[in-house]
Amino acid sequence: SQKIEQNSEALNIQEGKTATLTCNYTNYSPAYLQWYRQDPGRGPVFLLLIRENEKEKRKERLKVTFDTTLKQSLFHITASQPADSATYLCALDKTGNNRKLIWGLGTSLAVNP
Amino acid sequence: NAGVMQNPRHLVRRRGQEARLRCSPMKGHSHVYWYRQLPEEGLKFMVYLQKENIIDESGMPKERFSAEFPKEGPSILRIQQVVRGDSAAYFCASSQGTGGGLDIQYFGAGTRLSVL
């Protein structure tokens, strides 16, 4: 069956360090992969999208990589800040039209001052 | 510059009652999506609608659940005869509907439904 896995354990890091979150998938060939941030009691907020033919994408302190051979995406936050503390979700778009996203359970990140 | 608006934010219903969840998309967006989120299951797609048209309802339970997006007014997710298992956070998202993978979905803050 199709599956998306993210680190189930919470990630705790010191302020200023780089946080790296993992998203692995099986039995998909996604056209796009997206990362969202979700704070408690709020809806997900879109961060970055990467296409299947892109290896890496950057936006300010965020970087996403996409390895279709390993079936894995890594999400990096450099120079992390306490305000980066949240749950980060990855979502796959199989069809290329972004209509029906398949979601991971998310990884909780805590950045300690 | 309002984003996606959902109401109510919290809804409490007794078993057997009806729940109506409302979603107003972002200005200029013509596509609406509904998701359900449970703590151990993550976000699950329920239904995708355009104005006056259900495009994909493959994630929606066949009984008791329905959705609409009328020509005027918000999208409504309706749950009839609620049961305790319906307790969850329900999120609505909207997009421009430009097509292609860059048609990003923007989410509302959700409605937390509690069934007593």
Mean pLDDT of A54-69: 94
Q: Do B99 and A97 touch (CB under 8 A)?
A: yes
Q: Average pLDDT, whole number, for chain A?
A: 91
Mean pLDDT of B38-58: 90
Mean pLDDT of B49-70: 94
A93 interfacial to chain B (CB closer than 8 Å)? yes
- Chain A residues in contact with B104 by the CB 8 A cut-off are 34, 46, 49, 98
- Sign for the pseudo-dihedral over CA of A65, B102, A61, A87: negative
Mean pLDDT of B35-42: 87
- Flag whether pLDDT at B99 surpasses 70: no
Residue range A7-21, pLDDT digits in tens = 878 999 999 999 999
- Flag whether pLDDT at B42 surpasses 80: yes
Q: Do B41 and A105 touch (CB under 8 A)?
A: yes
Mean pLDDT of B52-78: 94
Q: Do A101 and B48 touch (CB under 8 A)?
A: no
Asked if the bond preceding B8 is cis, omega within 30° of 0, the reply is yes
A111 alpha-carbon distance from chain centroid: 16
B41 interfacial to chain A (CB closer than 8 Å)? yes
Q: Average pLDDT, whole number, for chain B?
A: 92
Mean pLDDT of A49-77: 93
Residue range B10-37, pLDDT digits in tens = 999 999 999 999 999 999 898 999 999 9
Closest Cα in chain B to A48 = B104
**Who among B48, B59, B104 is closest to A46 (CB)?**
B104
The pLDDT of residue A96 is 67
Cα separations (Å) of A103 from A7, B41, B65?
A: 13, 9, 22
Residue B103, token pair as written in the block: 């048609």
The pLDDT of residue B97 is 78
The pLDDT of residue B101 is 66
Per-residue confidence band for B2, with pLDDT thresholds at 50, 70 and 90:
confident
Our CA-based measurement puts residue B20 at a distance from the nearest CA of chain A, in whole angstroms, of: 19
Which of B6, B43, B107 is the best residue to mutate to test the A interface, defined by the most A CB atoms within 10 Å of its own CB? Answer: B43
